[in-house]
Structure 1
Amino acid sequence: MTAPAEDLRAVAGTALAWVDSHRAGFALGEDALAVDGEVDLSWKPLGELAQVCATVTRLTDPADPLHARARGLLDFAWQETHEGALFLRLQRLEPFATYPLEVYAALAAAGLRHPAFEQAAAVVARTRGWRLTEQDPTRRLGVLRAEERCGVHPFGQAPPGLPQTWLGGLPEPWTFGRDAGYALTHVVFHLSDWGCDAAALPPDLVAYLSDWLPPWLDTCLEAGMWDLGGELLAVAAIVARTTGESVPAGDWGRLLAARGPAGEVPLDDRDLDEIGAAPGTDGDRYFLHHYHSTLMAAFAAVLAGARPAAERPAPAAAGRRPGGQGAPA
């Protein structure tokens, strides 16, 4: 038995509502273009917001309130980048940094494009210096998918580094740990276009995950690792779209019980002990300890509750977004 649809809606709805009420935490500060700026505190949260909301808009009906809220958050994220202009400035300041392309790709998935940035990024991506940048295999896979979204090369290239990732190597299941867990979730996200193309997962990975994801998920939720647990619930929802199996309601029940008073989800139980179960005076710290796990809860819930693509109505014809170099919505 899987989680009732109303529980999934409750998780997604309250999580996105909490995120929406904390937009200021995702805003880019004056140091967004600084050489010594804290990327993990500026561009990373904005990119994660954009990626989750892009998936929500792709998997929900335009008349769904979840869709409207996610669309509004995407518009907010796009405006924070000055409709893509900041990406071009970043690319000129740090031409071999990959994070501008990765964040931009999340917005591009929702139809928000800046042609001048894409052209500049494509020039750099053709250099040996770009292709030979040393990265771990999971990050390399993410960059490859970002390049595809931005038109650097066509979709569908076989990821050459997949066997070198932890998940791609089909490791002994007892070697699973926190770092391996985050790596495997992102391999699945990149291969499946963040849950929108579950059929793209290789059959051997689907079979492996069908066997071993349930005990890994149970272990993480039992330990109160809500952020990683949310990511694994998202992976479980993606795998279920290919196997027809369901995630036990008990797994979702534990995540439901971990939510804060406004639907926010802590990174893990240690955060509850360290900063308290309710927002305190340190609002910035509370935000940093809740925003990602809350986004992952919404992401997983929408994936678990989404109808197959064949059952969803076709989207309305897209128009041009007003201002700047915006692209079809």
Structure 2
Amino acid sequence: MMAISVTQHAHLLASRALGWLHTHRERGALPPGCTAELAEPDTVYKPLGETGLAASLVLREAVAGSTELRLARELLDFGWKQLGGGSMLHERLLRYPMMSDPLETYAHYARCGYRHEPLELLLRHTTSLHSTRAAEVLPNRRLAVANAARISGFDRGEDGDEGPRTGSTGGTDWAGLTAATWLGALPEPWLIDWLTAYSMTHTVFHITDWGRLPERLPDDIVRHVGRWLPVWIDIWAEIGEWDLVAELLIVDNCLPEPLGDAAVWERLAGIQHEDGLMPRDGHPVTGDDQERFAAHHHSTVVAAVAGTLAVSRTLGTR
């Protein structure tokens, strides 16, 4: 009965969130005259990648109904068209070869069969360079880039991954990348703060490729997260940080054995608006449609991902 309850609430959460993203997709369109320079990529460009992530995972898991699968494909088609069929990503990487966002954005579309040959040729080169791999970024961001390369086919091979590509300079050190993160240090769990919690969730997301490879989580991390995840969920649920709560539920479904707390899923589904919008926190949802999109797009994406993975894991399709 517990698994059925989680499945029902998670399916409702994901279905409504995906519908909201589809209904409001034009609000995430690039503005007229937008170029590859993208002075503010997080507000103009990042939402396309986040929506692409959610849609790609809906198609990857294939546990949604026919309507949701159609909406996911249409969201990907829309985003790919906005990106010029990949040409904007290619131009951006040409201008800024040290930037990882073209690869990270491309990965969501490449996962579902969208390809751009000139971009792939350029990525094959840039991902082989010491300079790009040595860029000074947070450790969980290094994992993000490594996973994007793995998804797109530009990984350098390790532990059963596809082998090195032409021009590569060695395998991806997943163990080393993991050890460099806050979570990899098996830290004191009571000292976690809001920003560190987000970094922790993304460490898990990228090691496991959003739940596709739960066995890639080291055993000590599995034990550590399994013990403290319910506490972290309870803390941020108490203060209404719903975006973070949903991210923590994604973490749960990246574990080899998800905990699956039906009460948390029921509470999250109850907080979601009927139209599918997932509030990011406990503050009132205010403003016009564009302001609500800007404020709650990310949390709705996270709800779609969390629900999709939970349905997949409870049904045993992983």
For 1:208, the equivalent position in structure 2 comes to 224
The Cα shift of 1:69 comes to 1.6
RMSD of aligned residue pairs (Cα, Å): 2.1
2:64–2:308 CA contact under 8 A, matched in 1: no
1:224–1:269 CA contact under 8 A, matched in 2: yes
Give, in whole Å, the separation in 1 of the partners of 2:14 and 2:317. Answer: 20
For 2:309, the equivalent position in structure 1 comes to 303
Structure 1: runs of 5+ lacking an equivalent? 313-329
Q: Does 1:146 align with 2:148?
A: yes
Distance 1:259 1:59, change over 3 A: same
The Cα shift of 1:66 comes to 2.1
> Match for 1:228: what amino acid?
L
2:92–2:102 CA contact under 8 A, matched in 1: yes
The Cα shift of 1:62 comes to 7.7
1:145–1:190 CA contact under 8 A, matched in 2: yes
The Cα shift of 1:61 comes to 4.6
Distance 1:224 1:31, change over 3 A: farther
Residues 50-199 of structure 1 aligned to structure 2 (within 5 Å): 50-61=52-63, 64-155=66-157, 156=161, 157-159=172-174, 160-199=176-215
1:9–1:301 CA contact under 8 A, matched in 2: yes
> Match for 1:251: what amino acid?
V
Question: TM-score when scaled to structure 2?
Answer: 0.88
Farther-moved stretch of structure 1 (76-85 vs 32-41): 32-41
For 2:270, the equivalent position in structure 1 comes to 257
The Cα shift of 1:85 comes to 1.4
> Among 30, 33, 52, which residue is 2:32 paired with?
30
Deviation per CA, 1:185-232: give whole Å up to 9, x if none: 111110111122222222211111110000001111111001011100
Give, in whole Å, the separation in 1 of the partners of 2:290 and 2:144. Answer: 28
The Cα shift of 1:16 comes to 0.6
SS at match of 1:83: helix
> Among 35, 40, 43, which residue is 1:41 paired with?
43
The Cα shift of 1:122 comes to 2.1
Distance 1:4 1:162, change over 3 A: closer
Q: Does 1:222 align with 2:238?
A: yes
For 1:283, the equivalent position in structure 2 comes to 289
Identity %: 34
The Cα shift of 1:311 comes to 4.7
Farther-moved stretch of structure 1 (133-142 vs 66-75): 66-75
The Cα shift of 1:146 comes to 1.6
Distance 1:86 1:140, change over 3 A: same
Distance 1:141 1:5, change over 3 A: closer
Structure 2: runs of 5+ lacking an equivalent? 162-171
Question: TM-score when scaled to structure 1?
Answer: 0.85
> Match for 1:256: what amino acid?
A
SS at match of 2:119: helix
For 2:166, the equivalent position in structure 1 comes to none
